[in-house]
Structure 1
Amino acid sequence: MEYIKDITIIDAVLHILDSNGIDPILNESYLELDEDTYTFLFKHVERCLKDEELKYALFNEERSIVKEVSQEYLNGENNLLEVSKELARQLFVQMKANVNIPSCDILVIGITTEYGPMLCMLKMDYVKNFTHKIDFIEDRMNINIVPHTAGLPSSSQRIQKGAFIKPVREGQEFNLMVIDKQKKSKDNEEYGSNYFLNNYLGCSIVTNERDMTKTFLKAAETFTRNHIKEDADKAEIIRTEVKRNLKEEEIIDVHELSENLFKEEPDKKAKFVEFVAAQGLEKEVKVDKEWVEKKLKRVRLKIDKDIDLYIDEEAYHDNSKFEIQRNGDGSINIVIKHVMNYMEK
């Protein structure tokens, strides 16, 4: 996975897309990038690039206006202001065709990164904020709280839909990264359906190393919970071996790992391989080392449904502080040693 850490904002434009209007309200100027505005944009871009739901995608072979106009900007054939207007128009078309898509502002940003230039598009769904209102009634000051329903997401809030488009080149593994979070409505119809990927961007998701690693770890844990019941000893061995492989191997051979986990249980060995394959994974799983390092930094244990335990990975493997004692009957003792200080929270 490309973890982008060096971000510079070049230009930015904001347009208003009110689904109750006839046309989008298109800006004729770039945003003034003063310190506050730059920080606001930067934090949103940075948060989106760190979002675990950010995925790789490839533009489809069919004609895509978003692809065409974004490439005009990235190839230096058009400026961001004009390109952003067309991107806004195309999103507005989707909004008028689908009543489930809420009104928003669209933020279009030109950025440079350690991997080259990118065009960033963020759908800024409105959030409900409150402000004060001052009136004078019969020469008396009257201050009330009133709702403001068209507020932009703060820099600490997560964006639901966005895209980071790269210059399209031959033989690329991916040419954009996308966030497309979906909300379920009461009638079970997904919010906005898949309009953002399919109809607006015209792209298809490509599995990357982080997706594979996350899916594999989740599959291994789900299999352990479902098939290794009332045997905490065996479950601990499996979880430890899975984590060891994630930390030490660049590529995990699922068949080989299953052989090591279930040497004397051919039935479980086969079921584990089948279960992992059913999650859409191949026989070999490419490991995202940066994600693993972050994910496995802390261990969370839910013990017999009524005890939660959070432990740093280093402490978990330090026998002077923490120990797993095997009782030989499938149960284990979890021992926290040499406690000199503790607090209640």
Structure 2
Amino acid sequence: MSITFKHTIIHVLDLTMNMPLFSTDLLLLNDETESFITRHLMKIFESSSSSDAIFKEEASLPKVLEMPLDTEAFTRLSHEMAEVFYRYMMEYGTIPSGDLILTSFMMDGGNYLGIFKLNYKEEFTHFVEHNEAGVVARIIKHKGIFPSASKQVDEGVIINTDNLKVILLDGTKSKYLSLLFDLEPALSVKDTIKAIEKVATKVIEEHYDNPVSALTELKNNISESIARTQTIPVQEIMEQTFGSDEEVFESCTMQMEEYGIKEAKIEIADPKISNKFASQKLKTDTGIELKFPTHLFKDPDFIEVVNNPNGTLSIVLKNISQITNK
């Protein structure tokens, strides 16, 4: 995906200054700054923590975006957004200082407005000063360093100005961006998966004497679906895991519906999610930990869970030709 930038501007939102510092002119982009901004935008697009969102009826920004943003209109909008951000920062008290970037760009034939905040971090650097003795280099702590392009920002939105669809990333404790932009956010991929695991774990623990097998079966079904289709079709996964037990299946389906994810089909682009379900980790009350490929749990030639007469469990590992001490 290639990005063509139209307008970009940066404003300083430093709480120690007690007021925002507005840029009066657009940011001049070179290859390095274009790459820096592009990488941050792509992380918002691709993050499993990002979620789709829509504007509420009372939102004012869609009305502004009905008209094309020339340089003057874009700059004026950026000042207004910076003021709103700074007001929220002052009111909440938990939102850190940072610089606000607004950028209008084209990608794959679509028009977008990206707004994200680069929160400051502290790093040590050198400082050179001149005195009577000559040049002196000192080490100082710089409090206005941006996160690197390899790091994901905490706060950002990307708006498709053609259809007003929004991608929202809000990793702050305050979760204030949906209020600031008057948005109705959906669950992110990450939060949707958490909801699936939470509901399934609760139902399994309520209905099964040995929840380990059922939970591993669930993870294996998810892992196989991701490997095969790069998706998690929620209804299909529930049928595969609980279809033979009508009571459990109905309980799980009903609770999934409460989260609004019963019919969801989650697209998985983040390899970290695939890796999470590809392996399973168990810890016993005796302190023993086991980690193994999820699909092997279903194969009795390699792993078997035995219910003992005294109510305890035994895990039998089979066909091992070599053990490595790590």
1:155 Cα deviation after fit: 1.3
1:88 aligned onto 2:82: yes
CA contact (8 A) 2:46 2:270 kept: no
Question: 2 CA distance for matches of 1:233 and 1:89?
Answer: 54
Which stretch of the first structure deviates more once superposed, 139-148 or 107-116?
A: 139-148
Decide whether aligned partners of structure 1 residues 27 and 310 sit closer, same or farther in structure 2, where only a CA change above 3 A counts.
farther
Decide whether aligned partners of structure 1 residues 41 and 257 sit closer, same or farther in structure 2, where only a CA change above 3 A counts.
same
1:146 aligned onto 2:140: yes
1:325 aligned onto 2:308: no
Q: Which residues in structure 2 correspond to 1:1-345 (within 5 Å)?
A: 5-21=1-17, 23-64=19-60, 66-73=61-68, 79-114=73-108, 116-135=110-129, 139=133, 142-167=136-161, 169=163, 175-183=165-173, 191=174, 194-198=175-179, 200-207=180-187, 212=192, 215-221=195-201, 223-224=203-204, 228=208, 230=210, 232-241=212-221, 243=223, 250=233, 252=235, 256=239, 259-262=242-245, 266=247, 268-269=248-249, 271-278=251-258, 280-281=259-260, 284-291=262-269, 295-297=273-275, 298-304=278-284, 305-309=287-291, 311=293, 316=296, 323-327=302-306, 331-335=314-318, 337-339=320-322, 344=326
* TM-score normalised per structure 1: 0.73
Question: 2 CA distance for matches of 1:222 and 1:335?
Answer: 31
CA contact (8 A) 2:199 2:256 kept: yes
Question: 2 CA distance for matches of 1:145 and 1:114?
Answer: 46
Decide whether aligned partners of structure 1 residues 254 and 167 sit closer, same or farther in structure 2, where only a CA change above 3 A counts.
same
CA contact (8 A) 2:44 2:157 kept: no
SS of corresponding position for 1:109: strand
1:10 Cα deviation after fit: 3.5
Question: 1 CA distance for matches of 2:111 and 2:135?
Answer: 53
Question: 1 CA distance for matches of 2:43 and 2:280?
Answer: 25
Question: What percent of counterpart residues are identical?
Answer: 17
Decide whether aligned partners of structure 1 residues 293 and 140 sit closer, same or farther in structure 2, where only a CA change above 3 A counts.
closer
SS of corresponding position for 2:79: helix
Decide whether aligned partners of structure 1 residues 48 and 128 sit closer, same or farther in structure 2, where only a CA change above 3 A counts.
same
Q: Kindly provide the amino acid, as one letter, of the partner of residue 90 in structure 1.
A: V
Decide whether aligned partners of structure 1 residues 178 and 332 sit closer, same or farther in structure 2, where only a CA change above 3 A counts.
same
1:28 Cα deviation after fit: 2.2
* TM-score normalised per structure 2: 0.77
Q: Kindly provide the amino acid, as one letter, of the partner of residue 170 in structure 2.
A: D
SS of corresponding position for 2:25: coil
Question: 2 CA distance for matches of 1:131 and 1:206?
Answer: 42
Decide whether aligned partners of structure 1 residues 292 and 286 sit closer, same or farther in structure 2, where only a CA change above 3 A counts.
farther
Q: Kindly provide the amino acid, as one letter, of the partner of residue 15 in structure 1.
A: H
CA contact (8 A) 1:132 1:145 kept: yes
Question: 2 CA distance for matches of 1:138 and 1:155?
Answer: 40
Decide whether aligned partners of structure 1 residues 256 and 111 sit closer, same or farther in structure 2, where only a CA change above 3 A counts.
same
1:300 Cα deviation after fit: 3.3
Decide whether aligned partners of structure 1 residues 254 and 63 sit closer, same or farther in structure 2, where only a CA change above 3 A counts.
same
The Cα offsets for residues 249-279 of structure 1, whole Å up to 9 and x where unpaired, read as 856168745752536xx4x45543454345x
CA contact (8 A) 1:127 1:152 kept: yes
Question: How many aligned positions are there?
Answer: 315
1:234 Cα deviation after fit: 4.6
CA contact (8 A) 1:323 1:335 kept: yes
Q: Structure 1: which 5+ residue stretches go unaligned?
A: 184-190
SS of corresponding position for 2:96: coil
Q: Structure 2: which 5+ residue stretches go unaligned?
A: none
1:148 Cα deviation after fit: 0.9
